[in-house]
Amino acid sequence: MIRSDIFRGHLDSIILCLILEEDRYGYEISKEISMRTDNSFQIKEATLYAVFQRLEKKELIESYLGSVSQGGKRKYYRITPLGKAYLKELVKEWEEIKRIIDLFLGGLK
């Protein structure tokens, strides 16, 4: 299992990427992260919803209620145009971070 503090600064971009692919609800995002990482990274529910609140407050995502499922309506999230622009900047920033880290750690394999 990878230490969660390594991911902390990148949760926004991970979640925005998943919502960019398609509108999603919280549990679905949590399961998708676990599945794509072969369970090496799992996001706690409280952390996930804190990220949703932060992204919504910044108007990077918006929520809406979907149709009734298993007794209730699910809250879905979709990325906004501002969120897409922000994600584009995060990707550029990530590319630069990878390049710099690789300068130092790349030769230690």
Range of the domain at 53: 4-108
Q: Amino acid identity of 60?
A: L
Buried b (16+ CB within 10 A) or exposed e, 42-51: ebeeeebeeb
Concatenate the DSSP letters of all residues of 52-99 into one string: HHHHHHTTSEEEEEEEEETTEEEEEEEE-HHHHHHHHHHHHHHHHHHH
With contact defined as beta carbons under 8 Å apart, do 76 and 64 qualify?
yes
3-class DSSP state for residue 104? helix
* 42 φ/ψ sector (left φ>0, alpha ψ -120 to 50, else beta): beta
User: Model-level pTM?
Assistant: 0.87
For residue 69, list its beta bridge partners.
Answer: 72
* Domain total of the chain: 1
Give, for all 109 residues of the chain, the pLDDT tens digit: 666 677 788 999 999 999 999 999 999 999 999 999 999 888 988 999 999 999 999 999 999 998 766 777 889 999 999 999 999 999 999 999 999 999 999 877 6
Query: What CATH number is associated with residue 32?
Result: 1.10.10.10
